[in-house]
Amino acid sequence: MASIRPFPHDTCKQCATPLSHALAPGPCGHCLIHPPAQFETHAIYRYQGAVRDAILAWKLQGEDAGVRWLVESASPYLKGLLHKHDTLIPIPMPLSRMRQHGQHHSADLCRLMAKKVACHWDWHILRRQGEQMRQSALPAKQRRKNLRKAFMLNQDYWAKQHDTRGKLWLVDDIITTGSTMYFAAKALRATGLPVHVLSLSKTIQGD
């Protein structure tokens, strides 16, 4: 059976890049020079082995049993991290992909996680504008260029709906280069609140 590995504990607090025990919680060399828009980043699993298999089966074949199991297993972790007044916000998908596949994975993930801790989740707060190519097919430099104006705070909605008692968490299923998260977090900072990031998984160089 393929392995399931939790994400390392010693990381850069801001971007979750693994660091040696002595250097954690950073900031790492990259965040020191280019601080990310988010205040902190948490990843639950390493994106490899059975975790990668479960996420791919979910996204490509619509088989969600593996991902549900991963979220269920992370319940104690989620209960320690999240508070009932927190709001989980999915990374918005391009509309064309939602229309084509009828799925919104990060929103589904928010729903599953929010259920574990009885907190809020809300997919109206952040909007995607324009249409972008599938990011995983592009080199890092091109991704950044495409994503720069991709996200926008839904100001009217935010003014009416927000709950300031808890934290704002941007949620995704996987962080690779971190550029999607960076630009989404930057847009969400228009709320004037710090942005926290939670990902089901994150890649580690060399995995």
CB of 28 or CB of 70, closer to Zn ion: 28
Query: Rounded distance, CA 58 to CA 17, Å?
Result: 25
Say which DSSP state 7 is in.
Answer: P
CA distances from 201 to 42, 45, 56, 74, 100 (A): 9, 5, 12, 11, 25
| Nearest distance from C-beta of residue 103 to Zn ion, angstroms | 31
Binding region for Zn ion (CB under 5 A)? 12, 14-15, 17, 28, 31
Query: Residue 100, Cα to own-chain centre: how many angstroms?
Result: 22
Tokens of 91: 């990374």
Query: Rounded distance, CA 33 to CA 46, Å?
Result: 25
Alpha-carbon Rg for the chain, nearest whole angstrom, is 16
Contact 18, 8 (CB under 8 A): yes
Query: Residue 94, Cα to own-chain centre: how many angstroms?
Result: 16
| Nearest distance from C-beta of residue 39 to Zn ion, angstroms | 12
CB of 127 or CB of 189, closer to Zn ion: 189
Query: Residue 8, Cα to own-chain centre: how many angstroms?
Result: 17
| Nearest distance from C-beta of residue 8 to Zn ion, angstroms | 13
| Nearest distance from C-beta of residue 1 to Zn ion, angstroms | 32
CB of 116 or CB of 186, closer to Zn ion: 186
Q: What pairing do the DSSP bridges indicate for beta strands 126-128 and 151-153?
A: antiparallel
CB of 34 or CB of 160, closer to Zn ion: 34
| Nearest distance from C-beta of residue 197 to Zn ion, angstroms | 11
CB of 113 or CB of 170, closer to Zn ion: 170
Tell me if residue 100 falls in helix, strand or coil: helix
CB of 12 or CB of 107, closer to Zn ion: 12
| Nearest distance from C-beta of residue 107 to Zn ion, angstroms | 27
